[in-house]
Structure 1
Amino acid sequence: MKITAKEFSVRGLNFIIRSAEEYDAKNLSEVRVQIDGETENMDREQGEGYIDEAGFRSIIQEDSKASNHLFLVAEVEGRIAGFSRCEGSSLRRLSHKVEFGVCVLKAFWGYGIGKRLLQKSIEWAELQDIKKISLAVLEKNDNAIALYENLGFETEGVLKYDRRLSDGNYYNTILMGKLLNQL
């Protein structure tokens, strides 16, 4: 599904939150690899689970058609600074909810891009009569957890020793959810 683009200005940085378009595919492929190399908050290490331009084009096409999918990008001066996706299920018993994921280039952390991507996703979900948004976050990603809690997400579970990071230690993944359009 697609949304109407919206412009933001935060501490001198101007950016646009808009639906992903097929012409973004190459840039998205490059940005995803870069982000994976900048932080251990993502599931992948740099280059793992690589999605090429054609793969992103296919995802964008599918997400644009599906009423329970949303693919957003944050654009700064014609460059993608981050992106998010909400993905719903085609299974009837799970069709009331979507899973949310977000990533932002490190150079653009602290400008509220992730927050705006999530807020636009929540607005979209409410308009689609989606009842729940869920997400998974690494336990040591304090900034993301604080943001999610601030926007009404609650911890629903913990996957213990779910990820092993470069320090050799295992970390938990926190499962969070937000109920919308109260049941």
Structure 2
Amino acid sequence: METSEQPTFETEAGEEIYRFVERHGTAARHRVREVTSLPAEEFQDALEQLQERGYLEDDGGTLQVALDVGSIETYSTDDIDYTVRPAQQTDFEGLIDTIRDVTAEDTYIVAESIAEQLLYEDAVNRHNTAESRVFFVATVDGDVVGWSHLDLPQLDKLQSTAQLTVGVRGEHQGHGIGTRLLERALDWAEANGYRKVYNSVPTTNDEAIAFLEERGWETEGVRKNHYTIGDEHVDEVMLAYTF
């Protein structure tokens, strides 16, 4: 299923099954049937319809939302081998740890709020009529070391713009991982019809601003005294990339 496609349902049973799985990121098949309290035959029919329409996929008894967000890519440098791929629910803890590691050293308020939202919802990717988001991760030896994220509004008037965040753990910077993650998110956004992505950071985060500006991002505006960091009021720089 494409993230630009808002799910519609043929039956109430199908909607109930999808909403439970989408809200939890993944869910055991037998657990979904127990919670929905559907008769076995009705549950089976509704689940098969969802799978046929490309809404859900069953991985050995674990159900998850089937989002088409691309392939797995591997890269090698003189010092490191790493993989960039769509995030999965199994990346949840590593993703949270990585975002918190990055935001502990740098002032990246939007990314901090994304981590808190993930913890509250306990799900990596979301796709429903109200919200949609996708993550890409970079891994080294299976461990998450970086991410890029797109928040995709479902309101018609906002569906051509998306919010992006990106970050890499300090010990893995300098190998081009951040650039690869940024490019992966931008390529996906452009291929899916978005005309602009934006990112907002405190004006004190010189490294993040320089990183984006060197890659074609432009400042669209500044909100005065938007953040309170310590005892200081700090401006927010709003940057955007237009396709």
Alpha-carbon distance in 2 for matches of 1:59, 1:83: 12
Closer/same/farther in 2, CA of residues 5 and 63 from structure 1, 3 Å limit? farther
Amino acid at match of 1:16: T
Alpha-carbon distance in 2 for matches of 1:63, 1:145: 30
Alpha-carbon distance in 1 for matches of 2:117, 2:160: 29
Alpha-carbon distance in 2 for matches of 1:74, 1:4: 13
Amino acid at match of 2:161: K
- More moved, 73-82 vs 109-118: 109-118
Closer/same/farther in 2, CA of residues 76 and 42 from structure 1, 3 Å limit? farther
Q: Secondary structure at the match of 1:59?
A: coil
Moved over 4 A (4+): none
| Residue of 85, 89, 92 corresponding to 1:18 | 85
> Is 2:237 aligned against 1:174?
yes
Q: Tell me by how many angstroms 1:156 deviates.
A: 0.4
Pairing 1:132-171 to 2, within 5 Å after superposition: 132-166=196-230, 168-171=231-234
Alpha-carbon distance in 2 for matches of 1:50, 1:98: 17
- More moved, 147-156 vs 24-33: 24-33
Aligned to 1:55: 121
Aligned to 2:182: 118
Aligned to 1:27: 94
Alpha-carbon distance in 2 for matches of 1:121, 1:20: 12
Figure out how many residues of one structure are paired with residues of the other and give that number: 173
Amino acid at match of 1:172: D
Closer/same/farther in 2, CA of residues 22 and 59 from structure 1, 3 Å limit? closer
Q: Deviations over 1:96-135 (max 9, x none)?
A: 1111011221222222222211111111111111111111
Q: Secondary structure at the match of 2:154?
A: coil
**Gap regions ≥5 residues in structure 1:** none
Could you state the TM-score of these two structures normalised by the residue count of structure 1? 0.81
Closer/same/farther in 2, CA of residues 105 and 125 from structure 1, 3 Å limit? same
Closer/same/farther in 2, CA of residues 133 and 44 from structure 1, 3 Å limit? closer
How large is the RMSD of aligned CA atoms in angstroms? Answer: 2.7
Which structure carries more helix by proportion? 2
- Higher relative CO (CA 8 A, sep ≥ 6), structure 1 or 2? 1
Contact 1:63–1:71 (CA under 8 A) maintained in structure 2: no
Q: Secondary structure at the match of 1:49?
A: helix
**Gap regions ≥5 residues in structure 2:** 1-67
| Residue of 75, 81, 97 corresponding to 2:139 | 75
